[in-house]
């Protein structure tokens, strides 16, 4: 990926094929420091709304909030409304430029990118000791839009590697159809199925450095392990859709208004 504002044709084709692309070095050191400072001050003491590791019941999470580590935060929610520093990165001009191009390419027409306040819109935190693993899933499973065409932006505030629970992806799965039987009751891939096992063997870890942004399609299967280091990992995450891809009225996806990104 180049460091300019736009994707090359090769990078556009790579996103269409694989379902993800990395934008390196988008946030500068000052922006990273500002966001880190705000997030850490929101974690101690906790400033809600927040989701705790004990709330999700994923592998490695505390059994409940009364258990050891039960007060470990997993996500600081409603990030866009929390602070200007988070609004600034969510509407970053380079991110807007790339998303406007991707949605225009995907939909066949130029359509402005919009930030959803209903999905992701959080700061993911992965703490040492009590962080959980997330199994293989697609984000679109609980989202309700006219079309399953949304893109999430994962902002790295520090190094993200396998050891501290970096995101893992299965390239190309955003273009595949999956029979219901290949998914469990919570819509995670069932790893015991041979077809799924072969897919999981093709997975790769997306290594990120501080300031990098990972863009990935809402139908891309992805997962993440636990944080086995002694440093908390912080990752703001926002989700975007094109202006002509509307949330379905009466669903959680329509609970809050979307925010237009600059440019078109």
Domain boundaries, the chain: 9-260
pLDDT attached to residue 242:
96
Q: Tell which residue, 169, 152, 129, has the closest CA to residue 217.
A: 152
Taking the chain (264 residues) in runs of 10, the rounded mean pLDDT of each run is 65 95 96 98 95 83 79 94 98 95 68 95 93 93 95 98 97 97 96 96 98 98 96 97 97 98 80
Helical ranges in 127-216 per DSSP H: 194-200
pLDDT attached to residue 264:
56
Burial class (CB in 10 A: 0-12, 13-18, 19+), 125: buried
Does the domain at 9-260 match CATH 2.60.120.620? Answer given as yes
Q: Tell which residue, 173, 236, 232, has the closest CA to residue 200.
A: 173
pLDDT attached to residue 1:
40
Query: Using CA atoms, how far apart are residues 62 and 227, in angstroms rounded to an integer?
Result: 14
Strands (E), 27-83: 50-52, 73-76
pLDDT attached to residue 60:
76
pLDDT attached to residue 3:
43
């Amino acid at each position: 990926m180049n460091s300019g504002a736009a994707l090359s044709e090769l990078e556009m084709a790579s996103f269409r094929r694989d379902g993800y692309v990395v934008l390196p070095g988008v946030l500068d050191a000052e922006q990273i420091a500002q966001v880190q400072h705000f997030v850490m001050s929101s974690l101690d003491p906790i400033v809600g709304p927040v989701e705790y590791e004990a709330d999700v019941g994923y592998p490695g999470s505390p059994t409940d909030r009364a258990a050891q580590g039960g007060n470990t935060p997993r996500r600081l929610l409603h990030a866009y409304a929390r602070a200007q520093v988070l609004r600034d990165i969510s509407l970053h001009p380079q991110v807007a430029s790339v998303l406007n191009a991707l949605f225009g390419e995907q939909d066949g027409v130029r359509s402005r990118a919009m930030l959803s306040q209903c999905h992701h819109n959080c700061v993911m935190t992965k703490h040492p000791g009590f962080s959980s693993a997330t199994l293989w899933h697609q984000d679109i499973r609980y989202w309700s839009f006219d079309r399953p065409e949304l893109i999430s932006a994962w902002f790295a505030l520090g190094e993200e590697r396998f050891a501290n629970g970096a995101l893992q992806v299965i390239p190309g799965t955003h273009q595949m159809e999956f029979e219901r039987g290949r998914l469990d009751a919570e819509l995670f891939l069932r790893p015991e199925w041979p077809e799924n096992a072969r897919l999981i063997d093709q997975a790769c870890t997306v290594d990120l450095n501080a300031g990098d942004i990972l863009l990935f399609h809402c139908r891309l299967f992805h997962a993440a392990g636990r944080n086995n280091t002694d440093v908390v990992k912080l990752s703001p995450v926002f989700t975007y859709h094109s202006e002509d891809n509307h949330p379905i009225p009466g669903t959680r996806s329509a609970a809050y208004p979307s925010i237009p990104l600059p440019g078109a």
